[in-house]
Amino acid sequence: MKEPFSDLFKDSNVFANREVLSPHYMPDNLPFRDKQIENIVKYMTPSLRGERGRNLFVYGKTGTGKTSCVKHVVDKIKDLPTKARVSYINCRIYNSRYRVLYKITSDYLPVYAKRGYGLVDIYERIINWIEEDSKVLIVVLDEIDVVKDLDDLIYTLTRANSDIKSGGIMIVGVSNKISFKEDLDPRSLSTLYENELVFPPYNSNELALILKERAEKGFKKGVIDQAVINLAAAISAKDSGDARLALKVLSKAGELADERGDGVITVNDVNKATEAAEEELVYELVNTLPEHQRLIIYAISLLSIQGSRYKRLSGDSETYLFSGDIYNKYASIANSLNKGPKSSRWYRKYVFDLEMQGLISAYESGKGIRGHTKLIKLAYSPERMKETIEKTLMTEVEEVG
């Protein structure tokens, strides 16, 4: 029997530096994003000068370089002779108004963060700290749309400028969803006063160069050729222009070649890796959905597993669910979790968003099938979707089936 850890310290035939191929790796150079970086700097400049500038919202699909560019600028700011201070906040972790303010306090007033102060006390400490020397606080909210009480957070941060006698606060929000502000209360919207910056997807040629630069550092010499890199870039550009997907494909293709032991990445490796990488990113995407969209996906998953389904009269083996059945199941789940279901109008909007992201497919039925209704099908494994959502959204999911 082979020892279970016999290959643990074995040198790779393929990888020189696997970390370089990670989507989380921050390169010194960000190709094809010079204009976007210049604009971020331009919009931040008033705050760096100590003025109360406009807020900034950065949009773009996953894998378009938004976070990398914002982090790049933030790192440069640290070396500038400015009274501006930056608090970078991952809203996936700090997902409420209190947690965001707590993170700011932890960054710059750690003594108070450890004492368990309430929201009002933390807010006042931050205001006093800003007024001490008229500094400007730049609050970077990455994945801002996942904050549970976003209306309250935005209203608090923007209205703080009315309480601050000297200095100020600037918000930099980063989001995959350009429409997320539509969910905000008019009260919050009226206080924003923002600039907007949209990141376009990468095209095939751009992705090919990005992958080439990473491959040169990440793989050993002679492991991969340009034709294979071009294929990975073309596949990713066709689907979404997502650099994260392209890097995952390349890394997984390397793993397949490494397992085979011949030290060369082939076209076949890329094709096999693409399917695995796409599925992995889909389940990552589900984790970033707003809470009620995840509950809808959860309802669809449960119904798909339990068999409340409609089979197309054409004889197609595809199975679809009635939209009304999904809404009823979603409402039941939301109520059981004390989350309060959204109205049917919001439900229809969420279904449209999920369809646009490729997580579900839907079509309008003809007459005679409960009148006129929408039929919906989950695009991925309902068992895997159910498992993913139970892990990320609900640590104590009740059995509602």
CATH class of 202-286: mainly alpha
Which among 278, 245, 286, 203 has a CA at the least distance from the CA of 22? 245
Tokens of residue 267, six digits: 């076209």
55-60 and 168-175: which strand pairing? parallel
pLDDT at res. 363: 81
User: Which residue from 255, 254, 247 is spatially nearest to 209, judged by alpha carbons?
Assistant: 247
Fold for the domain defined by 289-392: Arc Repressor Mutant, subunit A (1.10.10)
Residue 365: predicted pLDDT: 67
- Please tell me the distance from the alpha carbon of residue 331 to that of residue 274, in angstroms, as a whole number: 36
pLDDT of residue 330: 94
* CATH of span 34-199: 3.40.50.300
- Give pLDDT, residue 387: 87
Phi then psi dihedrals of residue 140, to 5 deg:
-95, 115
For residue 146, give both structure tokens. 């996942």
Q: What pLDDT is attached to residue 285?
A: 78
CB 400 within 8 A of CB 302: yes
The SS3 call for residue 148 is coil
pLDDT of residue 367: 55
How many residues are present in the chain? 401
Q: What is the CA radius of gyration of the chain?
A: 24
**pLDDT per residue as tens, the chain (401 positions):** 555 545 554 678 899 999 999 988 999 889 999 999 999 999 999 999 999 889 999 998 888 999 999 999 999 998 899 999 999 999 989 999 999 999 999 999 988 877 678 899 999 999 999 999 999 999 999 999 889 899 999 999 999 999 999 999 999 999 987 777 777 888 778 778 789 999 999 999 999 999 999 999 999 999 999 999 999 999 989 867 889 889 999 999 999 999 988 889 999 999 999 988 877 878 877 887 888 999 999 999 999 988 744 444 334 445 789 999 999 999 999 999 888 899 998 899 889 888 877 788 888 765 555 556 789 998 888 888 898 888 776 544 444 44
Contact 345/327 with Cβ under 8 angstroms? no
263 close to 223: Cβ distance less than 8 angstroms: yes
**Residue 326 CB neighbour total at 10 angstroms:** 23
- Site of tokens 């068999």: 307
Domain ranges for the chain: 34-199, 202-286, 289-392
From residue 281, alpha-carbon distances to 78, 245, 247 in Å are 32, 7, 11
